[in-house]
Amino acid sequence: MNPFETRLLGNTGIKIPSLGFGGAPLGELFEKVEHLQAIETLDEAYASGIRYYDTAPWYGHGLSEHRLGNLLHQKNRHEFILSTKVGRVYRPFKGDPVLFDGSPWVGGLPFEWNFDYSAAGFERSFLDSTMRLGLNRIDLLVIHDLDRSYHGKSVSNKLQELETGMEWLKMMKNSAAIQAFGAGINDIEMIPLFLEHFELDFFLVAMPYTLLNQEPLKDIFPECERRGIGIIIGSPYASGILASGSRKESKYGYVAASEEIRKKVQSIEVICEDHGIPLKAAALQFPLAHPQVSSVIPGALRAAQVNENLEMLKIHIPLEFWLELKQTGLLHPEAPVA
């Protein structure tokens, strides 16, 4: 696969590269990242040709946006696509920064937040992001973390709050302040709710469509195709285990992987080894075989990981490999493959 090939994002008319850069790890999710290391990682990404970057205020409570902006505000604005997110509004932590608990981020910046999906909240979030990034334009704006894992039974209240937020997003798109807007999804059950209530340009799907989960194939992706809604895949390594493999400390869904998931990955690893295919290559290439998917955006903590992601996309994977995964029940029988 060509990592720099561009694909249309649904019916938006926007073309984005097959491989992007996910900014969550630079917000220090699982480990601290020194400033120089972050600069080297991002410099390598841009020098290697990556031209789609995704971030969010949530990633390190502003740290990821600062770091990405430090790179991107120096570049030609017409050369790259940028997405960030709305749904949280930040304010400075009033106490000693040493006492700030930024969990789940192990590092990040000492800023507190609250969810706000209203028009006023979105505007505040957007303006704050432009200042952290040092950029006056954001291409793709994503509604962030409106799902049950964060909001529980109050999801319906948040969807009501989003009604004014959606009007603001439409106004921003109509004025060309942004090119498109979508929703970031971790909980697959939220996609039908969004489809029922709102018109979106795309979904940024993290977790529900990977080598380990093809649940959207039955109803959700066909409905998105019917409506011309594009798909971007975040966390193609399933938050870690499809990169690190089945070892005990591997993460799945941003927490320690269960024994069931580890065993499934072990079974995939056996077939990978038989065919001489790196697990990371299979994980990265699989989502891109679906015609609705425009891009995958793995994160990177180091310059070497940027280059490895590029190489994983270039590896040729024979059809026989995918067929064996299907024949052994490790992959949905109707999943598109290269």
Point out the residues that are catalytic: 54, 59, 85
Sign of CA dihedral 67, 71, 76, 78: negative
Return the DSSP state at 25.
Answer: G
Report helix, strand and coil shares of the chain as percent, to nearest 5. Answer: 45, 20, 40
Q: Which residues lie closer than 8 Å to 257 by C-beta, 6 or more apart? A: 240, 241, 246, 250, 251, 265
Can you read off the two tokens belonging to residue 1? 């696969």
Q: What b/e sequence results for 278-300 when a residue is b if at least 16 CB atoms lie within 10 Å of its CB, and e otherwise?
A: bbbbbbbbbbbebebbbbbbbbb
H-state helical runs in 175-258 = 190-197, 220-227, 241-244
And the tokens for 182? 């979508």
Q: Interior CA angle at 14 toward 9 and 15, to 5°?
A: 75
Task: Report the distance separating Cα 119 and Cα 122, nearest Å.
Answer: 5
